[in-house]
Amino acid sequence: MTDSAVGTPRAADRHRPNDRGGRRGRRGRTFGLLGCGVVLAGPFALLVVRQTGLDAGTQLAVPMVLFPYAAILSVLVLSVMLAVPALRSRWAVTVAVLLTAAQVALLVPRFIPDQQHVPAQSAKLRVASLNADLGGVDPRALVRLVRAERIDVLAVQQLPSAGVAALAEAGLSTLLPYDELHPEYDSSIYSRIPLTDGGTLHADTAWPQTTADVRVGGRTVRLVAVHTYYPLGDAKRWTQDMTALTSVARRSGSDTVFLGDFNASLDHAPMRKLLASGLIDTHAELGRGWARTWPVGMPLIPPLVQIDHVLHGSGLAGVSVGERTVPGTDHRAVVAVLALLPTKERADQLVGE
């Protein structure tokens, strides 16, 4: 009896370390799942904002530019949960899968080219847009870009009078002799092709947007050099600018090009409304969904987001698009080649030939 009585506590003692280890394991699992939930709260909030359009007119527009990064974060957290056995909670993994799937579903279309057929004989228009950062851009570098890319139309934002003079001195007028310059209104258009019907839009924007027409392949293409207000400064003013541009786009024909600094990504509600008015983002059209144009020239920080775009109407199609770094500005230039699609009458003729 004595041996049995003494042996019982010893047996219990042998189990106590395992109990403590089990409790530590359960606490670790709880804290791990809690940590995953905290990390996923940000991506979930951005998904809700994107789906409800709460970024329009509010400071929520600022973090919305990070929506693609939020999707990457969700994928990483889901991968960790699947890789670590202790974190494989059925409900937690299910939530992470649903969140990730929703984000990916919204992002995937911009990585799939539209496969628009462009007849070989279609007239082409080579366009470029650049925010000159209050004239800080290197004028000679910009002229070299125009020459190398054989640009037909160049839209420049934040180009003051001194910047106009610097570009003229660097020889831009030799390559692009026609222009519609409005340094007092923040945007200007240079062209190799004669411009007509130039001026500024009659729209409720923070400052007038420069516009002009060019004749390409026997058709008139309307150009709008865009620079909106920025959401960090005044989200309501930025939304009003985008809404005004949407109204203009609805009234414009299919042969229209809006290009410039929209201060908006494809995930912003005002930008999606602008695209719904009949415009097409050239990057998304060609499957270039991960383009980044801002910021440039910051130590240790690469370009993170795309806020500079070339949008066009249904009468045109993107052939190519890319970004180019030009010294002196915090934006990358966007260079695109657009083709004028044949009209229905011309398409019928081509089919019959």
Backbone angles phi and psi of 64, in degrees to 5? -60, -25
Q: Tokens at residue 305, please?
A: 């987001």
In angstroms, the CA 208 to CA 218 distance is 29
Backbone angles phi and psi of 94, in degrees to 5? -60, -45
Q: For residue range 197-230, what is the model confidence (pLDDT) as tens digits?
A: 999 999 999 999 999 999 999 999 999 999 999 9
Question: What does the buried/exposed string (b/e) look like for 141-160 if buried means 16 or more CB atoms within 10 Å of the residue's CB?
Answer: bbbebbeebebbbbbbbbbe
The pLDDT value recorded for residue 115 is: 87
Q: Tokens at residue 295, please?
A: 């910021």
Q: Give the mean pLDDT of 128-148.
A: 97
Using a 10 angstrom Cβ sphere, with 0-12 exposed, 13-18 middle and 19 or more buried, the burial of residue 6 is: exposed
Classify 298 as helix, strand or coil. Answer: strand
**Residue in the block written with tokens 């890789």:** 83
Domain ranges of the chain: 2-109, 116-352
The pLDDT value recorded for residue 98 is: 98
Q: What is the pTM of this model?
A: 0.90
> What is the bridge-based pairing of β-strands 256-261 and 219-227?
parallel
| Higher-confidence position of 116 and 105 | 105
Give the residue from 128, 316, 119 showing the smallest Cα distance to 216. 316
The pLDDT value recorded for residue 27 is: 78
pLDDT at residue 304 greater than cutoff 80: yes
187-191 β-sheet, strand order: 178-180, 187-191, 153-157, 124-131, 333-340, 316-324
Q: For residue range 239-288, what is the model confidence (pLDDT) as tens digits?
A: 999 999 999 999 999 999 999 999 999 999 999 999 999 999 999 999 99
CB 132 within 8 A of CB 156: yes
The pLDDT value recorded for residue 349 is: 45
Q: For residue range 157-195, what is the model confidence (pLDDT) as tens digits?
A: 999 999 999 999 999 999 999 999 999 999 999 999 999
The pLDDT value recorded for residue 16 is: 58
Backbone angles phi and psi of 77, in degrees to 5? -65, -45
Per-residue pLDDT band for 45 (boundaries 50, 70, 90) equals very high
**Residue in the block written with tokens 């570009």:** 167
Q: Quick one: what percent of the chain has pLDDT higher than 90?
A: 85
Cα dist from 281 to 225, 262, 338, whole Å? 15, 12, 11
Compute the mean pLDDT over every residue in the chain, rounded to the nearest whole number: 92
Q: What is the CATH number of domain 116-352?
A: 3.60.10.10
User: At residue 2, what is the residue type?
Assistant: T
Give the residue from 245, 300, 301 showing the smallest Cα distance to 268. 245
Cα dist from 177 to 173, 191, 335, whole Å? 4, 6, 19
- The dihedral of CA 224, 225, 231, 236: what is its sign? negative
| Higher-confidence position of 297 and 147 | 147
Chain Cα centroid distance, residue 22: 48
The pLDDT value recorded for residue 143 is: 98
